């Protein structure tokens, strides 16, 4: 039976780790979930049926990139992002604010929103809470993010407070603009930097807005992992247990294990795809840099126990050759391997929580990385 609305339910807990699922009209999202990043409507170097094949239930699309090129109205005229990119399952889009601040030129931020010039052709744009929700609607996005301000760390408490309070006002405006769309969801984003009291104020104010899901923002911006984890320890207990929690931009496999342990349900990160394009393979024995000359004559596959052909059917020598030669197939095979590894990690995590064995499984997985390459 196809779900008519957006619904999250907890299936099991193990300590503060949670196993759940989100049901939506376009499909079910098994949590904890990892969302491959599909920046410009494509998960770079992958066919969408491969992305599905490694076990992804949902992908992320970037509003900033898509509004600049090919344009949100054009995607809408062509049937929306699912039709355009041939990904019929759920898509989460970010609001564009984070990329504006990290990619665009001549940007100005005020109460109304943010004005900026495209990093592609210098054309002027404005992104307001209302326009961001409008664009995400034009993309036919299933899970839409509020427009927020992610204050870069380190920053003064006053600066962090200013950004957190602005983001709360923008959350209200996004909620109003989003209106009542049962088949879709809009998530708020908790801000507050590395200041527990500001994190608490943000989380409680957003909880009061009764949103369908909650992201934890303002992290993975260069702070030490322990600071990020401390902020999760402050924030997650304040969020509703019956709504999904999404940690934006995270992260490494180790970040994911430790964040799941603190109650996070959803993740996105460019690492597996970006690393694949740079010759780096994620395996259960840690990272393998295929640019390294030590692989030049190695006939062994990356990992014969993997369920991904990229890890079982090709020699390291061949992968090294492809990477050194700058061949497209090098990026394709390593991206495929990396996304398969991340999805297998998530499947491992979900099974461990269901079995009440998350802590032990997490320790085993970490020991595997410590062993180092095969």
Ligand X SMILES: O=c1[nH]cnc2cc3nc(NCCN4CCOCC4)[nH]c3cc12
Quick one: which of 14, 21, 57, 94 contacts ligand X (CB under 6 A)?
94
Stretch that binds ligand X, among 53-61, 264-272, 296-304, 306-314 (CB under 6 A): 264-272
Stretch that binds ligand X, among 33-41, 55-63, 94-102, 329-337 (CB under 6 A): 94-102
Q: What b-and-e string marks burial along 70-92, b requiring 16 or more CB atoms within 10 Å of the CB?
A: eebeebbeeebbbebbebebbbb
Nearer to ligand X by Cβ, of 138 and 231: the residue is 231
User: Which residue lies nearer to ligand X by CB, 137 or 251?
Assistant: 251
As a whole number of Å, the end-to-end CA separation of the chain is 45
- The C-alpha atoms of residue 182 and residue 187 are separated, in whole angstroms, by 13
Q: How many residues bind ligand X (CB under 6 A)?
A: 15
Contact 10, 18 (CB under 8 A): yes
Q: How far is the CB of 255 from ligand X (least distance, A)?
A: 9
> How far apart are CB 97 and ligand X at their closest, in Å?
6
Query: Catalytic: which of 14, 57, 94, 194?
Result: 94
Give the pairing type, strands 7-14 and 17-24.
antiparallel
168 binds ligand X (CB under 6 A): no
Angle at 21 between CA 15 and CA 26, to 5 degrees: 165
Closer by beta carbon to ligand X, 35 or else 269:
269
Q: Which stretch binds ligand X (CB under 6 A): 156-164, 213-221, 281-289, 354-362?
A: 213-221
Residue 148: CB minimum distance to ligand X, A: 5
| 8 A C-beta contact, residue 352 and residue 14 | yes
The answer to whether 151 and 191 have CB atoms below 8 angstroms apart is yes
115, 108 in Cβ contact below 8 A?
yes
List of E strands, the chain: 7-14, 17-24, 27-31, 33-35, 59-61, 91-93, 105-109, 114-117, 124-127, 143-145, 185-190, 213-216, 245-247, 266-268, 280-283, 286-289
Give least dist CB 272 to ligand X, A: 10
DSSP 308-323: SHHHHSSBHHHHHHHH
Site for ligand X in 214-233 (CB under 6 A): 217-218, 220-221
349 touching ligand X, by CB under 6 A: no
Does residue 72 contact residue 123 with C-beta atoms inside 8 Å? no
Q: Give the active site residue among 57, 140, 194, 268.
A: 268
Q: Which of residues 187-206 bind ligand X (CB under 6 A)?
A: 189
Query: Taking every pair of C-alpha atoms in the chain, what is the biggest distance, in angstroms?
Result: 60
- Is there a catalytic annotation at residue 94? yes
The interface with ligand X within residues 279-318 (CB under 6 A) comprises none
Contact segment (CB under 6 A) with ligand X among 23-31, 92-100, 197-205, 313-321 equals 92-100
- Please report whether residue 249 would count as binding ligand X according to CB under 6 A: yes
Residue closer to ligand X by CB (options 272, 301) is 272
Query: Under the criterion CB under 6 A, does residue 269 sit at the interface with ligand X?
Result: yes
Tokens of 68: 């600049």
- Residue 92, interface with ligand X (CB under 6 A)? no
Question: Is 266 near ligand X (CB under 6 A)?
Answer: no
Show which residues are catalytic. Answer: 94, 268
Residues that bind ligand X (CB under 6 A): 94, 97-98, 148, 150, 189, 217-218, 220-221, 248-249, 269-271
């Amino acid at each position: 039976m196809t779900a008519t609305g957006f619904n999250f339910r907890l299936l099991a807990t193990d300590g503060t780790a949670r196993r759940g699922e989100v049901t939506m009209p376009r499909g079910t999202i098994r949590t904890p979930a990892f969302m491959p990043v599909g920046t410009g409507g494509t998960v770079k170097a992958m066919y969408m049926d491969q992305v599905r094949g490694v076990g992804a239930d949902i992908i992320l699309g970037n509003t900033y990139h898509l509004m600049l090129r090919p344009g949100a109205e054009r995607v809408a005229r062509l049937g929306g992002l699912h039709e355009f990119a041939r990904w019929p399952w759920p898509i989460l889009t970010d609001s564009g604010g984070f990329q504006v601040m990290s990619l665009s030129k001549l940007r100005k931020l005020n109460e109304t929103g943010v004005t900026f010039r495209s990093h592609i052709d210098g054309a002027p744009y404005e992104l307001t809470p209302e326009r961001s929700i409008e664009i995400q609607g034009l993309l036919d996005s299933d899970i839409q993010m509020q427009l927020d301000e992610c204050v870069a760390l380190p920053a003064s408490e006053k600066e962090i407070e200013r950004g957190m309070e602005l983001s709360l006002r923008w959350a209200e405006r996004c909620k109003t603009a989003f209106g009542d769309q049962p088949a879709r969801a809009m998530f708020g984003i908790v801000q507050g930097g590395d200041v527990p009291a500001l994190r608490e104020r943000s989380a409680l104010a957003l909880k009061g807005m009764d949103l369908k899901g909650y992201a934890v923002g303002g992290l993975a911006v260069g702070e030490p992992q322990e600071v990020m984890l401390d902020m999760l320890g402050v924030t997650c207990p304040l969020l509703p247990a019956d709504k999904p929690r999404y940690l934006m931009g995270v992260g490494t496999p180790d970040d994911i294990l430790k964040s799941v342990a603190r109650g996070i349900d959803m993740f996105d990160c460019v690492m597996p795809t970006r690393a694949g394009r740079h010759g780096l393979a994620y395996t259960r024995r840690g990272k393998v840099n295929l640019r390294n000359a030590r692989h030049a004559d190695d006939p062994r596959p990356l990992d014969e126990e993997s369920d991904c052909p990229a890890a079982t059917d090709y020699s390291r020598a061949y992968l090294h050759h492809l990477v050194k030669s700058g061949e497209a197939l090098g990026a394709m095979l390593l991206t495929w391997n990396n996304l398969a590894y991340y999805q297998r990690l998530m499947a491992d995590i979900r099974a461990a929580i269901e079995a009440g064995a998350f802590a032990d499984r997490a320790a085993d997985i970490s020991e595997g990385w410590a062993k180092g390459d095969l």
